[in-house]
């Protein structure tokens, strides 16, 4: 009985010691965790001058009125060690030269390295052309305007950094099984 009692006391003591260490270390680790900050901006990139060349139709066409505003949705994340920027632009496609220019402008204003920036297009076929292809020329006025607006969105998102938390969810939609 004494040995069995001693065995139980040892494991009980180790369990209590483990709980004490876990509580102490958890508080210390929380203090050492980098804090996440996020900033987001949807900046208007609607053309200022009309008509504008529209791409994505195999033949060149123009738009002479605005139906919907266009945006560059910009997100900046900072974990205290690394800062990144992501921009999703209402555009069909954008050439590397335009993207590099937008990144350089944003980097100069924020200090975020250009290799920590990702810019993508929504691939819309009813937006101004900044890349000549498939029978459509570049709208040079709009192509000069767009990089500055993308950079401005990243700069504003960087200035809007506030404490943030990450989360995720999972769901099922049996009715709408193909989302495009």
Q: What integer pLDDT is reported at residue 1 of this predicted model?
A: 42
pLDDT of residue 6: 44
Model confidence, pTM = 0.77
Q: Which two tokens stand for residue 147?
A: 């990089």
pLDDT at 56: 75
pLDDT of residue 141: 97
Query: What was the pLDDT predicted at 52?
Result: 97
pLDDT at 26: 55
The b/e string for 4-17 (b: 16+ C-beta within 10 A; e otherwise) is: eeeeeeeeeeeeee
Dist. CA 24–CA 7, nearest whole Å: 26
- Whether 85 and 114 have beta carbons less than 8 Å apart is answered as no
Q: Cis ω on the peptide bond leading into residue 70 (within 30° of 0)?
A: no
Query: Which residue positions in the chain have pLDDT lower than 50?
Result: 1-9, 31, 180
């Amino acid at each position: 009985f004494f040995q069995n009692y001693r065995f139980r006391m040892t494991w009980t003591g180790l369990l209590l010691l483990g709980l004490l260490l876990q509580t102490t270390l958890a508080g210390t680790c929380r203090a050492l965790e980098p804090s996440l900050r996020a900033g987001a901006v949807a900046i208007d990139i609607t053309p200022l001058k009309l008509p504008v060349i529209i791409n994505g139709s195999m033949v060149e066409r123009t738009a002479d009125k605005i139906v919907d505003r266009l945006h560059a949705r910009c997100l900046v994340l900072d974990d205290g060690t690394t800062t990144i920027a992501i921009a999703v632009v209402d555009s069909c496609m954008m050439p590397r030269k335009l993207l590099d220019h937008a990144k350089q402008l944003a980097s100069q204003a924020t200090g975020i390295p250009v290799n920590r920036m990702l810019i993508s297009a929504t691939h819309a076929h009813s937006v101004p052309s900044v890349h000549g292809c498939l029978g459509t020329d570049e709208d040079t006025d709009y192509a000069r305007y767009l990089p500055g607006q993308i950079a401005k969105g990243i700069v504003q998102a960087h200035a809007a950094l506030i404490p943030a938390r990450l989360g995720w969810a999972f769901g099922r939609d049996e009715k709408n099984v193909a989302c495009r």
